[in-house]
Structure 1
């Protein structure tokens, strides 16, 4: 029987890694939205996984046989499919919603992560974490404003994506104690690449040189983002880092304004400020506890 290595508890480091990973993923979303204006969205999804697979395989080539060995084939498969579901739904939503709006709806995922961690991973769910998650949810609801035009049928796509992403984070936490993070990174890319490679030929549009460059960049940022996220949950509990998903909302608002001219309104800034404040509060409490 394999020996399970206890998780390293360094909440501050885990949160910093998580925020860096979120930045990479938010930038990848920007590139995907840009790419989807030229080709079918399935090509953006395929580029995310195929590009990451090539980069990871070349990176780990000297030790690829060792890296490919996993103790949890079933959970690695479930991780990859959960992430693929989340990516597919979110990339598709970007063709119908603004970058900030889709990200705001996606930011419901911290609630799913924290509750799932308490139910399935046995992590404690104290009043401070509950306060942070509830505050983050209130901030997201202020941005979404139920009943407004953001709540179109397409708004359910990032909600489904949030479920997929939360499941991915929880399963990553589960295998992260004694699984090589390189192995998790490889399988998250490889299985997604196999599935999308079967689907994408039916929707393929010949890409321009610009589109090809975007596809490569999507794979690169996806690989970096995944590596940081996998490392993050090795140092901090999933429910502790969950509220810091707000970083993606702020980055999305910035990219949306700069690249697409989508300027967030006052409600978006108020909701974002609440989410930021809740995350900083929990980070402070985690550092004090550690």
Structure 2
């Protein structure tokens, strides 16, 4: 196996591992908030505060070099976007069944396309614009805003998707010059104090019993997932690893079904199929662009 093949395989496994870890995190958050009554702001705080404790050995191992950066502003921006995304996501999980929440948050790549155009001036092209429209249409099918069953709380995962799209854009920019563990540690350092203020503003709560163990498990898995995600982007192009990211949909459905008995409704399947299909179209378009760039570079 060539070095490039090994890197690609490692990136694919890292992305799958990140998806599996995030699925378990979502299950733990939903159990602690929806079933055990922990406020979403407190759940988010403890998830990342405990995660920071888990990550501390990495900081101590590398010393202050783990915090060395030439792009503090980008780290701050990433942290701000992540805070809003996390709060919206955990609030959504406290109110929305996991299968619906994860399908709606999968609209994030389409927000990435819009953000790349607006803030980085990237050329989008008709294929990506059509895929973006189709992806949001799939989200509307899942939301079913025209029915009496529609809940405004279902928009929380969509809001999380938008802010996490911004986080993804900044992450990709940082991976060009920053180490994976530094990016992860900076995120945790920036998230914890802001999440603490939000939790205290909401009354605050010290979890105990099963809720504490669930949030501790979510913290460990959050660190693992973010590290694996960053490694995946470092080892291979985003266009290559994106299809493996789609495995988070069946993984989260499985967690929701086995842990809570949640089963997707009929409207979920066509909407999710459109979202995944539109994402794959974006991926194929990116591969064609990369191939053209390589051809032009050889000329």
2:186 aligned residue: 187
Q: How does 1:120-159 map to 2 (within 5 A)?
A: 120-126=119-125, 129-130=128-129, 132-149=131-148, 151-159=150-158
The separation in 1 between residues aligned to 2:75 and 2:200, in whole angstroms, is 26
Task: Map Cα deviations across residues 217-245 of structure 1 (whole Å, 9 max, x no partner).
Answer: 11111111111222333355557766765
Partner of 1:275: 275
After TM superposition, give the deviation of residue 135 of structure 1 in Å. 4.3
Could you tell me which residue of structure 1 aligns to residue 263 of structure 2? Answer: 263
Distance in 1, matches of 2:218 and 2:95, equals 20
227 and 144 in structure 1: CA distance in 2 versus 1, 3 angstrom threshold: same
Match of 1:5 in 2: none
CA distance 1:287–1:167, change in 2 (3 Å): closer
CA distance in 1, matches of 2:114, 2:238: 10
CA distance in 1, matches of 2:251, 2:148: 22
Question: Contact between 2:109 and 2:279, CA under 8 Å: does it hold in 1?
Answer: no
Cα distance, 1:172 vs. partner? Answer: 0.8
Q: Which residue of 2 aligns with 1:27?
A: 24
Asked whether 1:107 is paired with 2:106, we answer yes
Displacement after TM superposition at 1:192 (Å) = 0.7
Q: Are the equivalent residues in 2 in contact too, given 1:40–1:205 (CA < 8 A)?
A: yes
Report the counterpart of residue 218 of structure 2 in structure 1.
218
Give the 3 Å change call, closer, same or farther, for CA 129–159 of structure 1 in structure 2: same
Q: Deviations over 1:235-266 (max 9, x none)?
A: 55557766765433333322222222221122
| Count of residue pairs brought into register by the alignment | 281
Q: CA deviation at 1:69?
A: 1.1
**Gaps in structure 1 of 5+ consecutive residues:** 1-9
- Secondary structure of 1:266's aligned partner: coil
TM-score where L is the length of structure 2: 0.80
Q: Is the contact between residue 117 and residue 239 of structure 1 (CA under 8 Å) also seen in structure 2?
A: no
Alignment partner of 2:247: what SS? helix
Question: What's the CA shift for 1:122?
Answer: 4.7
Mapped to 1, the partners of 2:172 and 2:160 lie a distance apart of 18
* Compared CA separation, residues 175 and 152, structure 1 to 2 (3 A): same
Cα pair 1:12 1:287 within 8 Å, conserved: no
TM-aligned CA distance change 1:235 to 1:12, over 3 Å: same
Alpha-carbon separation, structure 2, partners of 1:239 and 1:80:
24
Q: What is the match of residue 64 of structure 1?
A: 63
Alpha carbons of 1:30 and 1:249: their partners in 2 closer, same or farther (altered >3 Å)? same
TM-score w.r.t. the length of structure 1 is 0.83
Using the TM superposition, give the Cα deviation of residue 156 of structure 1 relative to its aligned residue in structure 2, in angstroms: 2.9
Post-superposition offset of 1:273: 3.1
Question: Rg: which structure is higher?
Answer: 2
Structure 1 residue matching 2:30: 3-state secondary structure = helix
Question: 1:271–1:246: structure 2 CA closer, same or farther, 3 Å change rule?
Answer: farther
Contact 1:132 1:243 in 2 (8 A): no
SS at match of 2:68: coil
Task: Give the CA RMSD over aligned residues.
Answer: 3.0
* Contact 1:15 1:244 (8 Å CA) reproduced: yes
